[in-house]
Structure 1
Amino acid sequence: MTGRPVRAASAALVLGLLAGACTGGGEPTPAEPSPTRPTASASPTESPAEESSAATPSPSETSRSPSPVSVPALFERTYRGGGLRLGAVREQTAAYTSYDVTYRSDDLTISGVLNVPAGRGPFPAVVLAHGYIDPAYYVRGQGMTRERGYLAERGFVALHVDYRNHAESSDDASMVSLLRLGYAVDVINAVHALRRTQAVPVDDDRLFLMGRSMGGGVVQTALVAQPGLVSAAAQWAPVSSRAAENFDRWIRRDPGRSGLVDAISRRFGLPEDAPRFWREMSPRTYFHRVTEPVLTVQGGSDDTCPPRWARATHRALLRAGADSTLAWYADEEHAFGPRFFGAMDRTVAFFRASSRG
C-alpha cells in the first residue's frame, strides 16, 4: 500500500515515544515460544510485599481544557468502528478458522487476524492488543499468535489488531503528534466492529480486551477512554501506567535517541518541566473512570517491564475503586514460557466469570 515514507518517518518518533518494549533489554522483535504443556498448572504465588510508590496523580485538572494530545482528548470522541471484512483463510483446524481481516477505525482501514471457533455461536470475543514490534518489520498478526490460537480453541473469537501504521493498516501521519493514543482508538473501534458485524456470530455481551507489554498500556488507555466498552480486560506484563516512567526507561536512557529526547523536550517538555502534559498522557491519572474488572498477569522475573510497575498499577486501580486482580508468577519472565498455559487458563476463567448476563 502507499504511504511507506510516512510510516518510516513516524516510526522514529511514534515507535520510540512512551515505548513499551515487548521483550528484554531494548525493543527487539518479540519471540513467540511454543512451550510444552505441563502435566498440571501450578497456581501462581501471591505477590510479594508491595513496594512503596509515588502518590497517584490527582484526576482533577481545572485550569484549562486538556490538550488535544492527551488521554482526556479521547473521552468525548465518537468511535466509528465497523466494516469488518473477512479476507483470505490463513489456517483451518478442527477447532477454528483463521482469517485475514480489515475493519474501519474512523477514516482509516486497520488490518488484523481473526480466529473464529467452529460451530454456530454466538461466541464470546477478545480483542488482542500486541506489544511493541518495529512497524518496519512487523507483519500481520504478529506478537500474540499463541494467545489467539489458545482463545479460539476454547470457544472465543479472537481479533488481533495490527494498529495503524502496521502491516496492511492505513498510514496515519498524525501519529507523530498523537503518539500512541491512536492505537487505543483502533482497539476501541475493533470492539465496535465486532459488535456491528454480521459476518461473525459474536455475543455482544461477552466482549473482552487483552494486551501484553505495550498492548497492556493500550488496554489501560482504552478502558479509561470509553468506560463500559467491554465486560473485562486482561493485561500481561504491562508497561507502566505512568507515561513518564516509560519515557525514562526506553527513550531518555538510550544514547541513540538523544535527538528524539530533544524533539520531545521542544514540543511537549520533559516530565520534570511539563508534569501536566505527562499526567494527561498517563492512564493512571484517570483510573477512576474504569468500570470493568481488570486482571494483571505479571512475571516476577520480568527484566523488560519491571514487576513493580504491575504492582503499582494494581494498587492504583484499587485506590480508584476499580475491581483489580493481580496474578503473580514469581519465576516467569516477560514472554512467559513454562507457565503460559496456566496463566492463560486463569485469564479465560477470569473472562468467563466476568461475562455479563
Structure 2
Amino acid sequence: MDRPRRRVTALLASLPLLAACSATPEDTDPAPAPAESSQSESPSAEPASPTDEPTEAPTEEPTEEAAPPPNPISLAALADADLAGGDLRLGPVRERTSTYTSYDVTFRSTTAGAGTTPLRISGVLNVPTGRGPQGGQGWPAVVLAHGYIDPAYYVRGQGMTRERGFLAQRGFVALHVDYRNHAESTDDPRVETAVRLGYAADVAAAVHALRDSANVRVDPDRIALFGRSMGGGVMLKALAAEPGLFAAGVGWASVSSLEAENFDQFQRPDAPLAELKAGFRGRHGLPGEDPGFWRGVSPRPVFDEITEPVLLVHGRFDDTCPPPWARATQRALTAAGVDSTLEWYDDGHAFGPAFVAAMDRTVRFLRARMPA
C-alpha cells in the first residue's frame, strides 16, 4: 500500500519548470459586474410595503489566477505526471546458483497523461532461492539504477552486476533496470533533450512492475532504490518526484544533485561551446544562460519532498564525481529534514578494495529500513 505522497511545491512552480501532462490553464476574466439600474419615480408608483426586506446586489467571489503549468522538462512536471508500470515478464535464465536465479526480464514504463506511449524496458532480475520470508510476506526488493555507459555499447544488466548478486545472496530480489534507449529497451528520442529525466520514470515503473507481478513474490512496502554514479542522481530525482513510492534510497559515488555541475563536469569539456549551444538551441539554454531551467531539473531544490531515508556512499579518492559533491548533497538533505547518512571509504569511483565493506554497510541500512 503506497504511503501518502506529496507533490512538488511552489519552490519549483516558480521556476520555468515535464508538463505535457497538463494543458495550459486558460485565464478567466472576472464576470462583469451587473449594471446599476435606475428607476424613475412617478407619483403613480406604489410605495414599497413596510414588510419588504431590502435586497442586496449579488457579490462576486474573487477569481484566483491559476498557477502556470511547470516546464515540460522539469522535476515538477515529472512529479505531476502519472508514472506507472507493470507487465513484468521473465525471459531466459541467465544464471542459476545455490542462492539465487537470474533472469532476463522486460516490463512496461508508462508516463500517463504526458502524451507518450508505454515503453518496454529491459533488465535483469535476481530472485533468491527458497520460499521467502516466513509469515506470507514477500521478499524485500531493490531496484538498481546503473551509472552512465554509452547506450551504443551498453549490454543488458551492465554496470551493477556485483551489487545485484550480492543483494540476492542476502535475501533481496534485485531488479537491474536498463533504462529507455539501452539494451533491449524501447528508444525514446527525447531522452537527451529532457536531460534523462525519463530514467527516473523507468525506475519508478520498476516498482509498480514488481508489485503487480504474479511470478515474483515481493513485499510491496519493502522496495528500495539503489543507484550508482549517474544512477545516484536518478535515485534522488525519483525519490523527490515520487515520495512514498520507495522504502529507502542508496546512492554510491553519486553525481551532483545540481545538474549544472554535472553539465560542467561531463559535457562541457567534451565539445566546443558553439556545438553545445547548437545542440540546445530551441530547447533550453546552457547553465549560464538559463539557470532556472537547470535548477528545475535538479533534485536538490526539492529535497524537502523526499520522505524516505537516504544512504550516500562515496570514495575519498573519487576523481569522477568529486567528494565535495557528496558533502554538499548531504548538507542539503539534512537541511531539508531528510534522514540521511554519508559514509566514506578509502576507494575510488568504481569501488574496488572497499566494495565488500561498503556493500555490507548498504545491506545493514536496507535491513534496518525494511525489517522483515
Q: Cα offset for 1:348? A: 0.6
Residue matched to 1:33: none
In the TM superposition, residue 187 of structure 1 has moved relative to its aligned partner by: 0.3
Partner SS for 2:80: coil
Q: 1-side partners of 2:249 and 2:87: how far apart?
A: 24
Counterpart of 1:18?
Answer: none
CA shift, 1:77, in A, is 1.2
User: 2: distance between equivalents of 1:285 and 1:181?
Assistant: 15
Query: Residue 110 of structure 1 aligns to which amino acid in structure 2?
Result: I
**What does residue 116 of structure 1 align with?**
127
Structure number with greater CO (CA < 8 Å, separation at least 6) is 1
Q: Which runs of 4+ in 1 moved over 4 A?
A: none
Deviation at 1:178, TM superposition (A): 2.0
Matches within 5 A, 1:79-118: 79-106=83-110, 107-118=118-129
One-letter amino acid of the structure 2 residue matched with residue 82 of structure 1: G
- 1:256 is displaced (CA, Å) by 5.7
Match of 1:62 in 2: 14
Q: 1:75 aligns with which of 67, 75, 79?
A: 79
Q: Which runs of 5+ in 1 are unaligned?
A: 1-57
User: Shift in Å at residue 94 of structure 1?
Assistant: 0.2
Partner residue in 1 for 2:316: 300
1:157 aligned residue (173, 179, 195): 173
Query: Which amino acid is the alignment partner of residue 316 of structure 1?
Result: A
Post-superposition Cα deviations, 1:300-343, rounded to whole Å, max 9, x if no partner, equal: 100000010011001000001101100111x2100001110010
State the distance in 2 between where 1:202 and 1:61 align: 36
Bigger Cα displacement from structure 2, 268-277 vs 317-326: 268-277
Hey, what's the Cα distance between the residues in 1 that align with 2:274 and 2:97?
48
Please identify the structure whose Cα radius of gyration is greater.
2
Give, as a single letter, the amino acid of the residue that structure 1 aligns with 2:126: N
Aligned-residue offset at 1:198 = 1.1
Query: Separation in 2 of the partners of 1:83 and 1:268?
Result: 35
Q: Which residue of 2 aligns with 1:354?
A: 369
1:179-236 CA-to-partner distances (Å, cap 9, x unmatched) read 2000000000001111111110111121100000000000011000100111111000
1:174 correspondence with 2:174: no
User: Is 1:227 matched up with 2:243?
Assistant: yes
SS at match of 1:304: coil
Amino acid paired to 1:352: R
Shift of 1:265: 5.2
Q: SS in structure 2 opposite 1:191?
A: helix
Correspondence for 1:29: none
Deviation per CA, 1:235-263: give whole Å up to 9, x if none: 00000000000011111122467513432
The corresponding residue for 2:352 is 337
Q: 1:6 — aligned with what?
A: none
- The Cα RMSD (Å) is 1.5
Task: Measure, in 2, the Cα distance between the counterparts of 1:137 and 1:336.
Answer: 22
Percent identity of equivalent pairs = 62
Matches within 5 A, 1:304-315: 304-315=320-331
SS state at 1:146 partner: helix
- Counterparts in 2 of 1:234-245, with a 5 A limit? 234-245=250-261
**Alignment length (residue pairs):** 299
Deviations 1:283-310 (A, max 9, x none): 1011010000000000010000001001
Say which SS state the counterpart of residue 320 (structure 2) adopts: coil
Q: CA deviation at 1:264?
A: 2.0
Secondary structure (helix, strand or coil) at the match of 1:291 reads coil
Q: Please say if 1:273 is aligned against 2:284.
A: no
Q: Deviations over 1:32-70 (max 9, x none)?
A: xxxxxxxxxxxxxxxxxxxxxxxxxx9354374320011
